[in-house]
Amino acid sequence: MPRHFRRAGFGAVLALPLLLAACGGGSSQYNGSILSGQVLMSAGVPVYDGGIGNVCVYALVNGQGNPLNTTVVPWSNTGTLLTNGCVPTDVNGNFSIDLSSFYGPVLIQVSAGNYTNIATATNTPLPNVSSTNSSLQAIADIGGGGTVTAVVTPLTTIATVKSQALSGGLNAANYAAASADVAGQFQLGSLSINAAPQSGDAYDKALRAVQQYLVSGPGSVDDPNGNNLLTWNASALPTVQSDYTSAYTQLYGASPTFSFH
């Protein structure tokens, strides 16, 4: 057999697995994942729902998630609920959802639940954010098999809102950019808002200040239920910044210089 035929045959053998991988056959890239998450108000302060099912996960399509939290019409252009009903958090704020048959970004929405507010040491319900269908939110990128971990906090909620305002809406890239932006605005240094806060670190202190903001003046007076903070209301940000600084100072005696935008 001429040499060039042998080369062609070898190339064809190589091309077959490459073609299969491109189509998703045999490639872990197109596998789903187990979503393992935790809902926290700060380090060691979980959100527990009492078993009612407060965590809902939606596919993100065309930059949109929950159809109850969007003005896009028709509703079929928005993401669909990926869970058979919503799942509960346990006493440590943990939840787990099998998304092994799904590939792509998802919107995590938490509605209802209680936590022990560090400012009052009392059992406190999550704030009811009137302009959304949830109290807390985050985005996770599902795929590649294995387990994808996520944390849902007030700061991931702000990052979700900010990513929705970017070109392309809710997607993994926008959420990553918004997460870094929020970490910078809350003076977290190199810490990621998508990793669990540790007791006493900058992320933990920022989240504790959110709790103080929600239950004490002037934040609780100027921003009942935290709507302006958690939806990052642009027109109210000067007041939010001032009130959040006051809450932080009440807890720690001093505050970083925040510049919310």
For residue 42, the domain's CATH number is 2.60.40.1120
Residue at 233: amino acid letter: N
Q: What is the pLDDT of residues 72-105, one digit of tens each?
A: 333 333 457 787 778 999 999 999 999 888 888 9
Lowest mean pLDDT among 22-31, 120-129, 219-228, 233-242: 22-31
Is residue 247 included in any domain, yes or no? Answer: no
As a whole number of angstroms, the distance between CA 151 and CA 234 comes to 25
Asked if pLDDT for residue 62 goes beyond 80, the answer is: no
Q: What is the pLDDT of residues 175-191, one digit of tens each?
A: 999 999 999 999 999 99
Is residue 74 included in any domain, yes or no? Answer: yes
Is residue 215 included in any domain, yes or no? Answer: no
Is residue 23 included in any domain, yes or no? Answer: no
Is residue 143 included in any domain, yes or no? Answer: yes
Average pLDDT over residues 97-119: 91
Asked if pLDDT for residue 107 goes beyond 70, the answer is: yes
- Domains: count for the chain: 1
Is residue 5 included in any domain, yes or no? Answer: no
- What is the pLDDT, as a whole number, of residue 223? 96
Q: What is the pTM of this model?
A: 0.84
Tell me the CA distances in angstroms from 255 to 154, 155, 246, 258, one per residue in order: 19, 18, 8, 8
- What is the pLDDT, as a whole number, of residue 145? 87
Full residue range of the structural domain in which residue 130 is found:
31-193
- What is the pLDDT, as a whole number, of residue 61? 76
Nearest Cα to Cα of residue 149 among 99, 114, 115, 190: 99
Is residue 163 included in any domain, yes or no? Answer: yes
Average pLDDT over residues 15-40: 59
CA 155 from centre of chain: 8
Lowest mean pLDDT among 101-110, 124-133, 239-248: 124-133
The residue among 26 and 2 whose pLDDT is bigger is: 2
Give the pair of three-digit tokens for residue 137.
């939110």
The residue among 76 and 117 whose pLDDT is bigger is: 117
Average pLDDT over residues 49-59: 88
